[in-house]
Structure 1
Amino acid sequence: MITGLALIFRLLIGRCSLVFGASIVQDRDLSEYIPSQSSTSKQLSCSHRLCDTGPNCKNPNQSCPYSINYYTESTSSSGLLVEDIIHLASGGDDTLNTSVKAPVIIGCGMKQSGGYLDGVAPDGLLGLGLQEISVPSFLAKAGLIQNSFSMCFNEDDSGRIFFGDQGPATQQSAPFLKLNGNYTTYIVGVEVCCVGASCLKQSSFSALVDSGTSFTFLPDDVFEMIAEEFDTQVNASRSSFEGYSWKYCYKTSSQDLPKIPSLRLIFPQNNSFLVQNHVFMIYGIQGVIGFCLAIQPADGDIGTIGQNFMTGYRVVFDRENLKLGWSRGDEGDGKTLPLTPSGTPRNPLPTNEQQSTPGGHAVSPAVAVNAPSKPSAASSQLISTRFCFLKWVLPLYLLHRVVSAS
């Protein structure tokens, strides 16, 4: 889910190399993407209408470059844009085990810095935001899916994504909010925060829902209110642990775990979100030795709801109806989505809008924002329109406040 690109891989002498990540993540079967060895790979030229940097190219026939800078320890990626085919497996009740091939834009990185050099996201990042060059935008524009997708996060840090999923009818929801007058990213408004049975006054805030951030950041005043109330209710001694930056940490043991206060977010129309994973357990040789409130203060007025808050839920990014939906991960409607979207979406895909994230959390890349207007040949295939990844496990690595703006 990264700003402006469908996928980002590393490029090393004509290939998207995994050299930096392979030495760090040894338990995963990583492979390189080599554009020259793909029969469906096409380099985007500077004259291509999707190449936003085209006017800066010396030659309109040269390959289209991209460059992205993040606010995560000077992390950046730059390289060339390539179009290729992504293979997705159909989901739901489909017993035919069919799949779909859909064109996407790939960014092959020639130069990386910051977290990439430390092995962050060694198998790449997936663009899932509102920008038209993102993967769900391509799929929706091609008529393959409803303009929506869902994500499920498990406690073991694995996850699954379903394109076209609008969630069960019983799910709760909250509307997306505009930023600078436009729907440019996934922002929601929280009306009240409750710790245990205590609902805190003046605890409303807006937050970017960002699956690419491992933990949650809240505006400083809201963070302090929640943390102080949590500290009041928890029956454990404050402590600190080397290597952990959280402010509110506590000593405990596997034999003497205290009752941890619950945390609940209340959205408009009294829609409630009970956070399942708001503490981080710290382990020693003998088991649990402590825990921390896994929230940090954010710079600016807009927070970030990260992956830890989403754990245990089926989180739906309904771009067609401009709302966030959620239900417990084991809930479902047991239905297969319709074969093709019916009618015109009430809220069509945004056009010609460069995406941005609030409060300077991330920088939009210099890439194009228009998606193909004509459906691809894949749209004629008779398949269920709820798709999940055929090969990739959803990357759940920390890349601070980057991924929701695409």
Structure 2
Amino acid sequence: MLEAICFGSLVIALIALPSLLLITITLCWCSLVFGASIMQDKDLSEYNPSLSNTSKNLPCSHHLCKLGTNCKGPKEPCPYIVDYNSENTSTSGFLVEDKLHLASASNHATKNHVQASVILGCGRIQSGSYLDGAAPDGVMGLGLGDISVPSLLAKAGLIQNSFSICFDENDSGRILFGDEVFATQQSTPFLPFAGKSDDYFVGLEHYCVGSFCLKLTQFQALVDSGTSFTYLPTEVYEKIVFEFDKQVNATRIHLQDSPFEYCYNASSQELHSIPSMRLMFATNRSYPIHNPLLTDSENQAFSKFCLTLLPMDGEYGIIGQNFMKGYRLVFDRENLKLGWSKSNCQDINGNQAHLKPPSNDGSPNPLPTTEQQSIPNTRAVPPAVAKRASSNSSVAVPQQIPSWLGLMISLVLLVFCLPVT
């Protein structure tokens, strides 16, 4: 059995294999082709809690209701508010509890079904990039907050407290809940940022262009698959693009509708001589970038391409989805480290993941009790703090680019839905 659901720009097929929870992701294709926004038609349907016989409002009295103090009474639906980096972008509504259905499938095991209770942010009011087409059917939160999907699955005893994500070159891929860092992977620790361990920050020491590694002032970067492109602090960005422009053997051009400053017109031969790029983390671990370019081939002889780096104000950067392609990235939340290894996303068998079977009575896994809320080495974060920058931050993405692929920025599983009854 394969059950597909759609959240945000993702069509998600959920499979629970005997050794893992696997989510296969097929992205609704939406990319910037030098100013043109292209999205395939998808039959997106709103989630209606009243049509689900397992849906129920999360009451204000529930221990997972972070904004319960704003309620008039303990039985009212729990509200949520999430503000994002992108300018004037927010969502608000009510929290709903429902079942996530996972079908186990294997050639060597009897199929069974696992139901896990998750919390949905049922969006009632959206603003900013949401109104411009970003995440048209919602987003999936993979953060460290109490009500993110991996947090709830781990607290219910279904998985180890970790997950992996993989994007291939065709903008599809998979998520494995319970996947763990294995011996052949490189890794680097997650670091606290501003004294808090709320997000997936890593330390960067060098950025290499070709064989030349720039000795940068050490800065931290947020690993965020929910951001389409990669952002660097302005001062660091200027050093890198200057070095790239010096090494590249192509004619620089200006593309009016592109947000990228460094675009070129190159022959097919010149494309093969574009300098490589790699990140060097604080643990001296090398992370080659498989494809830092956005390319548009006009004909067989010439192509336009842009370096998909963007500057941002502030002291940290963001490693976005475009720098994650070609890797199996493991977010080990238990040991607070990021692991990576090359992958085409089809070679993942989940041997490192561990799915714990449902109880003997086959009953669905309930939401964790108050005593089960604490996960070692993690810190609970209310949804309202998802915003990390001021509303005029340069991290805001132009309208033509999808602001998120909808996987990690949010701290809740958010769907846009019909009114809660």
TM-score, scaled relative to structure 1: 0.78
Match of 2:239 in 1: 225
- Could you tell me whether the CA contact under 8 Å between 1:136 and 1:149 is conserved in 2? yes
- 1:2-401 matched pairs, under 5 angstroms: 25-90=39-104, 95-254=109-268, 257-284=271-298, 289-330=303-344, 335=351, 337-340=353-356, 348=376, 350-354=378-382, 356=385, 360=389, 397-399=402-404
Say which SS state the counterpart of residue 137 (structure 2) adopts. coil
- Could you tell me whether the CA contact under 8 Å between 1:153 and 1:311 is conserved in 2? yes
- Could you tell me whether the CA contact under 8 Å between 1:129 and 1:404 is conserved in 2? yes
User: Which one of 405, 408, 413 corresponds to residue 403 of structure 1?
Assistant: 408
Q: CA deviation at 1:92?
A: 8.1
- Could you tell me whether the CA contact under 8 Å between 2:56 and 2:97 is conserved in 1? yes
Structure (1/2) with the larger strand percentage:
2
- Could you tell me whether the CA contact under 8 Å between 1:82 and 1:106 is conserved in 2? yes
Give the distance between the partners of 2:257 and 2:147, measured in 1 at CA: 38
Letter in 2 for 1:403: M
Check 1:104–1:338 CA distance in 2 against 1; reply closer, same or farther (3 A cut): closer
Larger deviation: 307-316 or 200-209? 200-209
Q: CA deviation at 1:241?
A: 1.1
- Could you tell me whether the CA contact under 8 Å between 1:75 and 1:112 is conserved in 2? yes
Say which SS state the counterpart of residue 139 (structure 1) adopts. helix
Deviations 1:341-381 (A, max 9, x none): 9xx9x97153554475695279xxxxxxxxxxxxxxxxxxx
5+ residue gaps, structure 1, are 1-6, 10-20, 363-395
Q: CA deviation at 1:404?
A: 3.7
Q: CA deviation at 1:197?
A: 0.5
Letter in 1 for 2:353: L
Deviations 1:136-173 (A, max 9, x none): 00011111101000001022222211100014320101
Check 1:281–1:288 CA distance in 2 against 1; reply closer, same or farther (3 A cut): farther
Give the distance between the partners of 2:117 and 2:323, measured in 1 at CA: 32
- Could you tell me whether the CA contact under 8 Å between 2:138 and 2:406 is conserved in 1? no
Letter in 2 for 1:360: A
Letter in 1 for 2:403: L
Deviations 1:238-290 (A, max 9, x none): 11112101111111244653511011111233211000121111344778531
Give the distance between the partners of 1:230 and 1:98, measured in 2 at CA: 52
- Could you tell me whether the CA contact under 8 Å between 2:332 and 2:338 is conserved in 1? yes
- Could you tell me whether the CA contact under 8 Å between 2:229 and 2:309 is conserved in 1? yes
Give the distance between the partners of 1:357 and 1:57, measured in 2 at CA: 21
Letter in 2 for 1:241: L
Letter in 2 for 1:155: E
Give the distance between the partners of 2:350 and 2:127, measured in 1 at CA: 44
Alignment size in residue pairs:
351
